[in-house]
Amino acid sequence: MIKLTNVSKYYYSKNNVVMALRRINIELKIGEFIAITGESGSGKSTLLNVISGLDTYEEGKMEVFGNDISHYSVEELETYSREYIAFVFQDYNIIDSYSVLDNVLMALIVQGMSKNARLEQAKMLIEKVGLTEQMHQKASKLSGGEQQRTVIARALAKNSPVIVCDEPTGNLDSASANQILTLLHEISKDKLVIV
């Protein structure tokens, strides 16, 4: 469903060229839980950005859901990204002064559901990530692991087939990190989750 063939990406600056991706070949499918590992600077974020349509590349071919998107314009890539990809970053993109519920509700507003349907869906997602008891707490009062669960609930609210997580456990202790990975693994049963 997402297939990269010999994809290379370079960063150009004044005096030098960095080869951030060198002939990447990878095929990813719904239902898979994929971990991309490597030392700092090895190109993990670059690869995630390319897969997500947030960044372009210089060489190779990329196919998503049966479409060859190698020659997509920036606008077309944005549309692909908006439709197919939800993000979980390590610097939690949630609103501190909002409750868990309001953070998730906000992510549902764009979906054009009725207010009641949104509330029901938000509660379901919050239950899925194990935060029912904390639903009315402000995000700023949550632990790191709980904040990341809120981010995951928001990503799920987008209802996209692919969830891309760039170092989702980077700021967490190992116990919380394991719980988050277990949750992402469960989620991958009917989505593609790339960490």
Binding site for ligand ADP (CB under 6 A): 11, 13, 18, 20, 38, 40-46
Pick what 46 binds: ligand ADP, Mg ion, none; C-beta below 5 to 8 Å, kind-dependent.
ligand ADP
Q: Which is nearer to Mg ion, 45 or 171 (CB)?
A: 45
Pick what 18 binds: ligand ADP, Mg ion, none; C-beta below 5 to 8 Å, kind-dependent.
ligand ADP
Q: Which is nearer to ligand ADP, 46 or 150 (CB)?
A: 46
- Which of 45, 70, 137, 171 lies at the binding interface for Mg ion (CB under 5 A)? 45
Residue 171 binds to Mg ion (criterion: CB under 5 A): no
Pick what 37 binds: ligand ADP, Mg ion, none; C-beta below 5 to 8 Å, kind-dependent.
none
Closest approach of Cβ 13 to ligand ADP, in Å?
A: 6
C-alpha Rg value of the chain to the nearest Å: 18
Report whether 47 contacts 55 (CB < 8 A).
Answer: no
Alpha helices in 9-73 (DSSP H): 44-51
Pick what 38 binds: ligand ADP, Mg ion, none; C-beta below 5 to 8 Å, kind-dependent.
ligand ADP
Rounded distance between C-alpha atoms, residue 102 and residue 98, angstroms = 6
Q: Which is nearer to ligand ADP, 37 or 114 (CB)?
A: 37
Report whether 135 contacts 126 (CB < 8 A).
Answer: yes
With contacts defined by CB under 5 A, how many residues of the chain interact with Mg ion? 2
Q: Which is nearer to Mg ion, 181 or 195 (CB)?
A: 195
Closest approach of Cβ 138 to ligand ADP, in Å?
A: 31
- CA 95 from chain centre, in angstroms, equals 17
Q: Which residue has tokens 């207010």? A: 115
Rounded distance between C-alpha atoms, residue 123 and residue 96, angstroms = 19
Q: Which is nearer to Mg ion, 93 or 159 (CB)?
A: 93
Pairing of strands 59-64, 2-12: antiparallel
Other beta carbons within 10 angstroms of residue 175's beta carbon come to: 8
- CA 81 from chain centre, in angstroms, equals 10
Rounded distance between C-alpha atoms, residue 132 and residue 47, angstroms = 34
Pick what 42 binds: ligand ADP, Mg ion, none; C-beta below 5 to 8 Å, kind-dependent.
ligand ADP
Q: Which is nearer to Mg ion, 44 or 149 (CB)?
A: 44
